[in-house]
Chains A and B, each alone.
Chain A
Amino acid sequence: MRYLKKLTVLLLTVLLLLSGCAKRSEPEVFSSSGDSWTVGFGRAEITVTDDERKGLYIAGYNQGWHPTGLYDQSTAWAVWLQAGEESTLLIGVDCVALSSAHVEMIRERTAHLKSSSVNVYATHSHAGADTLGLWGPLMVDGKNDAFMEKLVDACVLAAEDAVADRREGELRFGTAEGEIEFLRDSRDPQAFDPDLHQLRFVPEDGEAGVRLYIYGAHAESLRGDNMMLSRDFPGVLCDLVEKETGDRAAFMPGAIGGLIMTQVIAEPAFANLNRTGQKLAEYALSIDPEEETVIEPELVHGRMEFSVPLDNTGFMFYKFLGILDKKVERAESATGYALWSEMTVLRLGELTLALIPGEIFPELVWGGAREPGLAEDPPLLCDIAEEYGAGKLLVVGLANDELGYIVPPSDFLVNETAPYLDRIEDQYGEDHYEETNSVGPECAVVIAETFEALMRAVNE
């Protein structure tokens, strides 16, 4: 009997220890190099009829708002990137965000294309249909099943077209210096990357190339009163670049947490949309080909799953109601649970892209956090990248999941009465809205630790 008791205690201890250790998967890494890059591009519209529009909710600002009209159709696009034997499919969608569940659906449906990996991201448009479920009536799922089905179909079509479009050529990287005054950080301290970054594929056959733009601003030039479905400025930027150059263009959001957005530079809202897109197109077209860096055809891809303590009770209720479909596990946190998510690091020659599953504050990437802070921040992502000999670091947000805002622990403040449900203002008068849409203060630490583990794996 005593022996049985000891055995039970031992088993329980082992189980507890094992459960505490299950925070990250092993990194999955592959790499290859070739004589040139093989790149393909595909695009498909996610068409919405007038009748279908009535069943949608507009995402980004208010709850329970049906769109009253359609300005331009959302699209899905895919870029096939290959160097040597290995490849990755980058699939982007004009929408506010996509959860890991839909990313997995897209991966399953594109498995027949035999890409070594598939990464799915959203432009974070605040004028698209609700694809996450948070913008229906209060605590009611705002996603429309038929629309989500169309979205996944469009991603698959775009990916298939990208595969069919593959050609060999050169990949180049360039940056346009943006005006600091064009962007604003809605919450001090002011920290953001004002530049527009471009990855440009030049095919050997002289046909239309591909351009990927990374810019660190929320796609919300139409602002909060808008009720028309639109791609927002990413659509205008890409259309203008395509018109001017003939190349196919796509947009990727950078480190936009904080909350980084473009200034209002014209009235009314649709004039601002067009002027903002035009300004970014001017940046894009100003990149001098002579000053671009040629990217060596070497591809290294590292992916890791990780769990992050879930402190946000609002997110927990949404998961309970089946609105947020995320993998959870029991853990030490305010809710008793942790969420599972993933991160990918993509090395293209000397360029490193960190695909982050959320809206990370630029302070966590490049610094500039307020000091002294409420708690210690993790090491900066750019410092970690430099430590592992990475060249230029670019951040792509809302990739493969949406954990919400990734807020620096030094500036993490929640309402004491209703944490994560009500906002609070700090001693400087700053509104801590972002915390209400974040997983919790440990997310930033977990992201930095996971990034370091990936950098170690990718650079070994």
Chain B
Amino acid sequence: MKNKNLSAVHFLIPAILSVLTTALCAIFPSAFVHGIGSLIRLAGKTFGLKSTDIKQFSEIFDQLKEASVLPPVWLLLLVFAACFAAAVWARKGKKGRRIAVAVIWLLLLLPLMLLSLWFSNVNDLQYGIVISALICMVMAGVF
């Protein structure tokens, strides 16, 4: 069959998947930023790092628990639109197409969440800009 006619029900699954993906991209920056202090403590315990250093770093980043985190709306809209289009296209095709789209979705999910984090505003400053500056300083031997 050349063109498979899709009823409203067939758009439901793509819509759910798109909303789910967009929600993950929207929530991840906030969850990550608010939880950096805890992640540092966990890493310290897991890798047996120096406790005074861990305490100092986690105290610094615990301040972000109250930070205002705004994910990039433009990116979330793009993610939703792309996911929805891809899912509808997948449902129109054969099984092979659906598997391919599912694999790509899984592979791209984490990078998209990280991209959302990169472009999020944390206390009015773009996370990516602040982290870039920090990385430059570490590379220059400041810390």
Q: Name the A residues within 8 Å of B64 (CB-CB).
A: 321-322
Smallest CB-CB A-B distances: 4 pairs: A418-B142, A139-B60, A320-B130, A321-B63
* Distance from A98 Cβ to chain B, minimum over Cβ atoms (Å): 19
Q: Is A29 an interface residue (CB 8 A)?
A: no
A421 to B56, CA, bound (A): 19
Q: Is A317 at the interface (CB under 8 A from chain B)?
A: yes
Separation of A138 and B67 alpha carbons in the complex (Å): 18
Query: Given contacts A313-B137, A316-B133, is CB(A140)–CB(B123) below 8 Å?
Result: no
Known: A320-B123, A417-B140. A140 touches B67 (CB 8 A): no
Docked Cα-Cα span, A422 to B137, in Å, equals 12
B122: Cβ under 8 A from any A Cβ: yes
Q: Is the interface of A mostly helix, strand, loop or mixed?
A: loop
Q: Which of B63, B133, B140 meets A322, CB within 8 Å? A: B63
> Please, what's the 1-or-0 string for A319-340, where 1 marks a CB less than 8 Å from any CB in chain B?
1111100011000000111000
Chain A: number of interface residues, binned into ranges:
20 to 34
CB distance from A308 to the nearest CB of B (A): 16
Task: List the A side residues contacting B122 at CB < 8 Å.
Answer: 320
A335 to B124, CA, bound (A): 13
Which one of A137, A328, A337, A418 contacts B56 once the chains associate, using CB atoms below 8 Å?
A137
Task: Say yes or no for A342: interface residue by CB 8 A criterion.
Answer: no
Nearest-Cβ distance from residue B19 to partner chain A, whole angstroms: 28
Judge whether A220 is part of the interface by a CB distance below 8 angstroms.
Answer: no
Q: How far is the CB of A81 from chain B (nearest CB, A)?
A: 35
Whether A130 sits at the interface, judged by CB under 8 Å, is no
Interface size of B by CB at 8 A reads 21
**Contact yes or no, B130 A316, CB < 8 A:** yes
Evaluate contact between B67 and A313: CB separation under 8 angstroms. no
Instruction: Check A320–B125 contact: CB distance below 8 A.
Output: yes
Given contacts A317-B130, A327-B124, 7 further A-B pairs with CB under 8 A are A313-B137, A316-B130, A317-B134, A319-B125, A320-B122, A336-B126, A421-B142
Q: Does A141 contact B (CB under 8 A)?
A: yes
Write out the residue numbers on chain A whose beta carbons fall within 8 Å of the beta carbon of B133: 313, 316-317, 335
Residue of A nearest to B125 (CB): A320
Q: With the chains together, A316 CA to B137 CA distance in Å?
A: 13
What CA separation (Å) do A322 and B122 show in the bound complex? 9
Interface positions, chain A 298-321, Cβ under 8 Å from B, are 313, 316-317, 319-321
Contacts of B31 in A (CB 8 A): none
Closest CB of chain A to B40's CB: distance in Å?
13
Bound-state Cα–Cα, A319 to B63, Å:
11
**Docked complex Cα distance between A422 and B134 (Å):** 15
Q: List 25 A-B contacts (CB under 8 A).
A: A138-B56, A140-B59, A140-B63, A313-B137, A317-B133, A317-B134, A319-B123, A319-B125, A320-B123, A320-B130, A321-B60, A321-B63, A322-B63, A322-B123, A323-B63, A328-B124, A328-B125, A335-B133, A336-B126, A336-B129, A337-B129, A417-B141, A417-B142, A418-B140, A422-B142
